[in-house]
Amino acid sequence: MKAFKIAGLVIFAAFVYLGGDLIANNAAFINPPGPVRRIAVYFTLNRAWTTGGYPLPEVAPRTFYGDPAKLAVNITRSIKGFSGWHIEQQSPEKIVIRVEPSFWHHATRLLLTVSPVSGGVRLNAEATSSSGLPDLGAGRNDILNLFHAIGEENAIHPPV
């Protein structure tokens, strides 16, 4: 009987941890393509990307308009605004970011590719979890948080 109680407690703790992980990663189950497809993505992929073919529509490349030099400063400032995010390598075309592990997920390598477009830059991102295990949407969340922070930084410091 005592073994059943311990097993039940362990299973309950696992569900609480899993639920907390999904909540921490802003898993929006009701958005398209629907909860079944989203759960499949969260439980099978350990990376997210914006270059096409990613199954969730909110993870897409972003275009930011303005002076590319000022945009580069804003992008760097946005990255430095996250605690636990460190720029490992930076060039005009590519930024490699290490997102430190936290209680809810493993370390992530975030590759940001900067492509010039007319009047601004286009950003593609790829996030890969270092664990090799499904990241429960952490890579998706890192990309969306970064793009949101860049948009806010551009609003505060207009790149025109």
- Per-residue pLDDT in tens (0 to 9) along the chain, 160 residues: 787 777 777 776 656 655 655 555 556 667 778 788 888 888 899 999 999 889 988 899 999 998 888 999 999 999 999 999 999 999 989 999 999 987 666 899 999 999 999 989 999 999 999 888 888 888 988 999 999 999 999 888 887 7
Q: How many domains does the chain have?
A: 1
Q: Number of C-alpha atoms within 13 angstroms, CB side, residue 65? A: 2
CATH number for position 43: 3.30.310.80
Does this model's pTM top 0.85? My answer is no
Q: What is the pLDDT of residue 132?
A: 83
Q: Count CB neighbours of 43 within 10 A.
A: 14
Backbone torsion region of residue 31, taken as left when φ is above 0, otherwise alpha when ψ lies between -120 and 50, otherwise beta? beta
Which domain covers residue 53, as residue numbers?
2-156
